[in-house]
């Protein structure tokens, strides 16, 4: 692949911000008390060479991480790094065909997507 610029590498992850169930649907297992908090999920794309996210997308906490990938339009030669919560093989195939490079914890499962 050659030399990689840190600007080509994008880190993708999310975090959940707990709120009340009256506002948003909760995520995760039901606690013993039977009460589950609702919340927001903040999905972010952070360039490796910068501490400021390129994109932040807010959803209900119950939204699956892989749904976020459809919001991204990676340029050719960009490298996206994310965890296995973002498994979406149809998006991986599309991105690979367009020249983007993917690296994640489930790498062995989609090593030969081309």
Q: Could you read off the pLDDT of 63-109 as tens digits, one per residue?
A: 889 888 888 888 888 888 988 888 888 988 998 899 888 877 655 54
The pLDDT of residue 58: 93
- Whether the Cβ atoms of residue 72 and residue 45 lie closer than 8 Å to each other: yes
Question: Mean of the per-residue pLDDT values for the chain?
Answer: 79
Q: Please state the φ and ψ torsions of residue 22, each to the nearest 5 degrees.
A: -65, -25
CA 44 to each of CA 15, 29, 68, 109: distance values in angstroms, whole numbers, following the listed order: 9, 24, 9, 24
Label residue 51 by pLDDT band (50, 70, 90): confident
The pLDDT of residue 45: 94
Contacts of 61 (CB under 8 A, 6+ apart): 16, 17, 18, 19, 24, 25, 26, 27, 38, 39, 40, 41
């Amino acid at each position: 692949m050659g030399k990689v610029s840190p600007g080509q590498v994008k880190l993708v992850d999310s975090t959940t911000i707990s709120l009340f169930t009256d506002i948003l649907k909760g995520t995760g297992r039901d606690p013993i008390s039977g009460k589950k908090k609702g919340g927001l999920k903040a999905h972010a794309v952070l360039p490796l060479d910068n501490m400021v996210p390129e994109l932040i997308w807010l959803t209900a906490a119950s939204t699956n991480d892989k749904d976020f990938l459809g919001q991204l339009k990676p340029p050719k030669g960009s490298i996206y790094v994310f965890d296995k919560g973002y498994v979406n093989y149809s998006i991986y195939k599309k991105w690979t065909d367009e020249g983007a490079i993917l690296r994640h914890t489930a790498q062995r499962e989609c090593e030969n997507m081309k």
